[in-house]
A and B are shown apart, each in its own frame.
Chain A
């Protein structure tokens, strides 16, 4: 997804070509829906929230400064809309067992994992993701799946860049350890 292309489309919409917004919605609907679904855990609510996100974004288009990527801006609206919807519920964050994680060597993990079948790896990753709290799932998804930078994640979530890095570092280790456990391999001890 080209940012310049997005900016061009936005300019057309602001010039009155409303129909062009269809392209934007089609381009980002799955990404936005997937983000809000991870927060809300409910398909109906996620659909409504994703729709709200696109309508809010449409109304706020004149205020979009094209310094940031459009996708980051859109994620931020989606994130805030979903979070405000769950304000009464508590976002689940699972505490990661520091001792357990720090004894692992991710290099060894990766070495072991890379020897297994890709399907097996993917299956393990999906299951490992389920062991993470909502916030951790989002962070790891933003970084490894949506390819947002630490800076962009910080601007979407409001967490400091240092905090994002620390969290990502620990979540990555946690993912490896869960995957390793799920795949039934011996867990290598601290190197």
Chain B
């Protein structure tokens, strides 16, 4: 492409416009409209693809991820003796946080072992997240290509 600055005048060619107008157009086969209308009448319906509608459809997925996340947290906390989260007392919030933080450092070596033990839960959680992300990615691309103007 040597020339990127083509003016409209260079392509607006009345001679070609007139000639193309005389060119016969391929005709859709007989019964084409009836075929489509049959399918329309048999239950195909316009689907509103608004973001609100999309969020409503995806509610189950978000709930699934939420449940998986809670399960992972519960399992981690139930199995990690070094993370004993004490409910904060009136004056001991800072101390509790500090202890929990230190407990995390102390128990780092055991975390890998725990991850192995809870790998099933983690796999479920990450799979769900990946599924959701992939679905969103493809849906977005699909609708960008087809329907969004």
| Any A CB within 8 A of the CB of B90 | no
Q: A residues within 8 Å of B by Cβ?
A: 13-14, 18-19, 21-22, 25-26, 29-34, 37, 43, 47, 50-51, 54-56, 58-65, 67-68, 72-73, 76-77, 80, 98, 106, 110, 113-114, 118, 121-122, 125-126, 140-141, 143-145, 147, 150, 155, 158, 162-163, 165-166, 168-169, 172, 175
Summed over the interface, the residue pairs from A and B with CB atoms below 8 Å come to a total of 140
Knowing A21-B40, A25-B37, A68-B149 are in contact, say whether A172-B13 is a contact too (CB < 8 A): yes
Distance from A8 Cβ to chain B, minimum over Cβ atoms (Å):
16
| Any A CB within 8 A of the CB of B137 | no
A76 adjacent to B32 (CB under 8 Å): no
| Any A CB within 8 A of the CB of B116 | no
B4 adjacent to A162 (CB under 8 Å): yes
A172 adjacent to B26 (CB under 8 Å): no
A22 adjacent to B37 (CB under 8 Å): yes
Instruction: Please name all residues of chain A whose beta carbon is closer than 8 Å to the beta carbon of B47 when the two chains form the complex.
Output: 59-60, 62
B32 adjacent to A18 (CB under 8 Å): no
27 contacts between A and B (CB under 8 A): A18-B41, A21-B36, A21-B37, A30-B27, A30-B28, A32-B28, A33-B27, A33-B28, A33-B32, A34-B26, A51-B35, A51-B39, A55-B39, A58-B44, A58-B46, A64-B149, A118-B22, A121-B19, A122-B23, A125-B20, A144-B16, A144-B19, A144-B20, A162-B4, A165-B11, A169-B10, A172-B13
Query: Which of B17, B25, B33, B46 has the most chain A CB atoms closer than 10 A to its own CB?
Result: B46
